[in-house]
Structure 1
């Protein structure tokens, strides 16, 4: 499983729990982690490898 599939799986999990779960505040936690971790990962990756390849 590459990073793209992992990100899509987290988003799908959140949407499924939100749709079929009654009280699903905890389901938003993986989505918030993903939304905050992704920009940090991109900045660190670009800092280490400045080429856009």
Structure 2
């Protein structure tokens, strides 16, 4: 294994692990925050609409 193959392997590992952790971050923080915010906003809009009537 020469140096270019070693550097290519390290680059592959870096990209793979960065993508893996980004996916974990998105699934555990961003998506639930997005869904929770949407539900909360819809509830507030419905409450506001009821108070208008």
TM-score by length of 1: 0.44
Structure number with greater CO (CA < 8 Å, separation at least 6) is 1
TM-score by length of 2: 0.44
More helix by share: 2
